[in-house]
Amino acid sequence: MTEFRMDADHAGLAMDRGVQGVLGKGLNRVEGVLKVMGAATYGYEHQLGTEVAYGYLITTPVAKGKVIGFDTDAARAMPGVLDIIVDDPRIPRQAASFGPAANGNAAIDHFDQVLGAAIATSFEAARAAARAVRVDIVAEQGRFDMMADIANASGPPKSSRLQDVAKGDIDAAMTTADVTVDQVYTTPNQVHAAMEPHASIATWDDGKLTLYSSLQILNVAKAVLARSLGIDATAVRIVSPYIGGGFGGKLLGPEAVMAAIASQRLDRPVKIAMARAQLFHNVYRRTDTHQRIRLAANADGRLTAIGHDSVVSQGPDGGFMEPVALGTIALYAAAVRHFSHKIVTLDMVQAGAVRAPGEAVGMLALETAIDEMAEQLGRDPIDFRKLNEPEVDPTTGAPYSTRRLVECLDEGARRFGWARREAIPGSVRDGEWLVGMGVAAAVRINLLVDSEARVTLGTNGRATVETDMTDIGTGTYTILSQIAGESLGLPMHCVDVRLGDTDLPPGSGSGGSFGAASAGSSVALACEDIVAELASRMKARPEDMTLKDGHAIAGNRRVPLEELVGDAPIIAIGKISQGSNARTFSQAAHGAQFAEVGVNAVTGEVRVRRMLGVFEAGRILNAKTARSQAIGGMIWGIGYALMEHAVLDKRHGQFVNHDLGEYHVPVHADVPHLDVHFIEDIDHHANPIGVKGLGELTISGAGAAVTNAIYNACGVRVREFPMTLDKIL
């Protein structure tokens, strides 16, 4: 087994010497054909025979109060109904909770909170029965309006990784500076809205639970599910081979716990999918934010102070805090630095991690303010950013592992035609459209988490990679195939990758953009051991042996792998641990986002005309899946800048637009040609394979590039997002 230690060996892996030529290539997804044929089995689709029963969640119609009783008689008498479960102490109380989830005290924490489930022989019967259950409630007035409650905000929880920073006196710096920006930006509640809803099938066999579901970090989900049910984690298996989107919300949904409870009680498989409207209230939301940005600069364009003070909201008992200033902390030089976070507690579903927690909303505000400052200084916004490029992390003093932000800005400017931009807003007109260009920096903290993989080189010369890592649509199957193929000298069709099953070695799961680095490293390290074993059988040093097309070549010998393997497969475990990450370096991925928009001078309508993202995220494992992730992130940027808004009824704590018809996200007609370019710089301080997180990086700054382009087009600066046409007119 190979476990990686940063000081011991940080370069020269077998995959670095590889000559197979699959790593980095823009190869098609290995599971792509299965997906387009409908043959990839998602959580709700696993076939467990005719005994399977269907559940539908019973939820509360109010956001705050107490449940004093249920009348289930009418529901129980309906055709096909098998059980109405409202009395079990294990019924989950909060959304995708990391904590124990018992709803013992009957308190209602948020609107549409799960109270139980109706179970029947068909989905329709279960749904009808759920609706026939009468819930007796004593309702109370809840608190739902963060902005109205800002005076009652409290500081970050001790558990928060992000603590406040106060270097120097920002008030004094603002008073003495030549030029200042002091603005408040707000962003609304947003929801995950993954295409595939949360869905689970539970089945018990001899005291052991198997859950088929749509979850992104399986070993965590397994632990939480076991704790929720009061059983040992060894009695739980989770199977989640394909996931139709998971952006932080596919951790563990209440439907999984309810399916497990129901299946145990009825002694038959039970499947439950959350309805779309239920998802809007029962999956972690992205908090609304109130962000004050203060910038102070000298007339020469150098920043002297940066302040980023945020207020976010959280539900009862929520341990997470949106780390709003995460991207700001190490981005620009300035001696005076002031970053604070405050939380308002509301009677709403818990706020949690939604793709690029921190940077998505934080960089929207910061990078808009940077654009405002550049304009006040009369400087080009790219030149202004370059002028404030730090040598080392300006908050901690740590050196950067790799940082190519300036190159991203310069390369982007060249490719995008930035030189054609007119500095004065409203200068470019195309019929009734005002046209403008905007730029923003992108940054995303780089993470590494524990991950383990098993690689088996079989007697037939084929390799199998096994880990409970997941593929949430990002391309994990493909990049792990490429890493193993390059390391072992095998073409892609000779590598099988098995993911998404907790019976396999525990992988990192997908989240925080740590998946490729963490799971990828574990696979590369397992391959190291196999290569060492093959080399010893070839009586060569690993670095003197070439592996290609299923053969080992050393000196004048070329031996097929199956011959070298012989009678028993070669099996290796690779392990990477969080602790091996070189935290003495400031680690982040960087990029530059460019947008050109048209703003209709008559209606205020905004059309994004083109975008370019230039990103540096360490080694790129697959040019095509990386580009696809980048495009997805940039589209998300269009969404949160212009459309996304979970509209809250502040009287009742309900999102009124709880479906994809009214919760607007960009559709094809909203998305123009998007261009992506990578600047590759293998980061040896980050992890063995030199990969940095990419997915969330590409969301960061994308919205600000759009809003800065709007300003350049028409001279309107909106600081209350989303930037809908009523605010622009």
The HSE-up count of residue 145 (CA atoms within 13 Å, CB side) is 9
How many residues line the site for ligand MOS (CB under 6 A)?
A: 9
From residue 467 to residue 506, the character string flagging contacts with ligand MOS as x (rule: CB under 6 A) and all else as - is ----------------------------------------
User: 285 near 271, Cβ under 8 Å?
Assistant: no
320 binds ligand MOS (CB under 6 A): no
90 binds ligand MOS (CB under 6 A): no
394 binds ligand MOS (CB under 6 A): no
Q: CA angle 496-501-506, nearest 5°? A: 95
Closest CB to ligand MOS among residues 180, 216 = 216
Minimum CB distance to ligand MOS, residue 511 (Å): 3
**φ/ψ bin of 618: left (φ > 0), alpha (ψ from -120 to 50), beta (otherwise):** left
Tokens of 712: 């350049």
703, amino acid identity = G
241 binds ligand MOS (CB under 6 A): no
Tokens of 179: 């030029």
- Of positions 4, 247, 615, 663, contacts ligand MOS by CB under 6 A: 247
551 binds ligand MOS (CB under 6 A): no
Minimum CB distance to ligand MOS, residue 253 (Å): 14
Minimum CB distance to ligand MOS, residue 4 (Å): 22
507 binds ligand MOS (CB under 6 A): no
Question: Residue holding tokens 């019973």?
Answer: 58
Phi, psi of 293 (to 5 degrees): -110, 130
Tokens of 589: 């991925």
Phi, psi of 527 (to 5 degrees): -65, -35
Closest CB to ligand MOS among residues 301, 511 = 511
284 binds ligand MOS (CB under 6 A): no
- Of positions 197, 241, 248, 542, contacts ligand MOS by CB under 6 A: 248
Minimum CB distance to ligand MOS, residue 401 (Å): 20
From residue 343 to residue 362, the character string flagging contacts with ligand MOS as x (rule: CB under 6 A) and all else as - is ----------xxx-x-----
Closest CB to ligand MOS among residues 119, 274 = 274
Distance, in Å, from the CA atom of 211 to the CA atom of 259, rounded to the nearest integer, reads: 9
Question: Residue holding tokens 């290539």?
Answer: 25
Q: CA angle 694-663-716, nearest 5°? A: 75
Catalytic site residue 696? yes
318 binds ligand MOS (CB under 6 A): no
**Residue with the shortest CB distance to ligand MOS:** 248
User: 565 near 458, Cβ under 8 Å?
Assistant: yes
Give the C-alpha distances (Å, rounded to integers) separating 15 from 192, 327, 495, 527, 690.
36, 32, 14, 9, 12
512 binds ligand MOS (CB under 6 A): yes
* Nearby residues of 310 by Cβ (< 8 Å), 6 or more positions away: 289, 290, 291, 292, 322, 324, 325, 340, 341, 342, 362
218 binds ligand MOS (CB under 6 A): no
Distance, in Å, from the CA atom of 384 to the CA atom of 537, rounded to the nearest integer, reads: 59
**Total number of residues shown for the chain:** 729
Minimum CB distance to ligand MOS, residue 483 (Å): 21
Which candidate in 452, 466, 696, 720 is catalytic? 696
436 binds ligand MOS (CB under 6 A): no
Minimum CB distance to ligand MOS, residue 357 (Å): 5
Binding residues for ligand MOS, rule: CB under 6 A, are 216, 247-248, 353-355, 357, 511-512
Catalytic residue IDs: 696
